[in-house]
Amino acid sequence: MANEECMRSNWSETSIYLDLIKQNKIILPTTRCLKELPDTFQRRQLLLFRMNTEISHITNQESKCPFCQEHDTREHILNGCQSETMGNLYTKRHNLVVNILVRNILNKLKISSKKQLTRGQMKQYGNITVYYDRPIATEVSSNKPDVIIITNNEGIILEVAVSGYTTMNTKRMEKIGKYTPLESDLTSSHKKQFKIYAIVIGSNGELDVDCFNEWIKVMEHYKINKKWSKNILNTIRQKVNAFSDYLFRTYLSMKQQINMETNEMAQF
């Protein structure tokens, strides 16, 4: 019965996923051929494999997260656990994305790797000022986006997030809403136009179409052509997918260890 419930749950989840793909709401590598297949159980099974090879690991609907006691669904494990342990892993995944983004932009600006700033720093390179996960002086409380790049003519505010595929657009709008006051304040105080871009990647490398368009706009600011922009983006998506796979396996390993220790304690 538990297996049957799990199958129904996975079917429902993949149905949402398929709808998003068919509506061209998200871009997912390797699914072009799958989009042409009939809407069958086999097709959904293939998509489940593409989404995460271990998605079907949970067969017990009562299975709970050992850190917060919520149901340990795939979404909970990859994006939703509020524990410090999992939160640290989510942060590492997020920082991985920001780092790739910063390095590629600075490389395009012809700033040598030896001179490139690291997280928590602000550096000036000629007429370019870069804030990397560092607060900027302002009257606005939300004043530490992932990246701020200021040139003679304009300013760019970059925010990055990794989320579940059903909440990518919501997360993007949250980021834009959070930093819109900063965008307005900096535009006024610096006497130049600032623009916020929120890039949200799905935890399995999915990409919302609106975010893809945002990405292209960001890269255009630094004269990075569309082909090169896609290459950078594909690298980010592959890294996110690989890290999420690592995160998933790490969670399962930690859960197994905790369960073993709990069982051992129960014997005394």
Q: Which pLDDT does position 218 carry in this prediction?
A: 85
Number of domains in the chain: 1
User: CB–CB of 196/176 below 8 Å?
Assistant: yes
Would residue 98 count as lying in a domain? yes
Would residue 77 count as lying in a domain? no
Would residue 46 count as lying in a domain? no
Q: Which pLDDT does position 9 carry in this prediction?
A: 44
Full residue range of the structural domain in which residue 202 is found: 85-243
Would residue 120 count as lying in a domain? yes
Q: Which pLDDT does position 55 carry in this prediction?
A: 41
Choose among 59, 45, 57, 109: nearest CA to 252.
57
Q: Beta strands 154-163 and 121-125: pairing type?
A: unpaired
Q: Which pLDDT does position 224 carry in this prediction?
A: 82
Would residue 41 count as lying in a domain? no
Distance of CA 125 to the CA centre of its chain: 29
Q: What is the pLDDT along the chain (268 residues), one digit of tens a residue?
A: 344 344 334 434 444 445 544 454 445 544 434 444 444 444 444 455 445 434 444 445 567 888 998 888 888 889 999 999 999 999 999 999 999 999 998 998 888 888 999 999 999 999 999 999 999 999 899 999 999 999 999 999 999 999 988 888 899 999 999 999 999 999 999 999 999 999 999 888 888 788 888 888 888 888 888 888 888 888 898 899 889 888 988 988 898 888 888 777 777 6
**Domain CATH number, residue 229:** 3.40.91
Would residue 32 count as lying in a domain? no
Q: Which residue has the tokens 């990859």?
A: 78
Partners of 64 in the β-ladder: 71
Distance CA 65, CA 186 (A): 42
Choose among 250, 206, 249: nearest CA to 53.
249
Q: Which pLDDT does position 35 carry in this prediction?
A: 45
Phi, psi of 262 (to 5 degrees): -65, -45
Would residue 254 count as lying in a domain? no
Q: Which pLDDT does position 4 carry in this prediction?
A: 38
Q: What is the pTM assigned to this prediction?
A: 0.78
Would residue 217 count as lying in a domain? yes
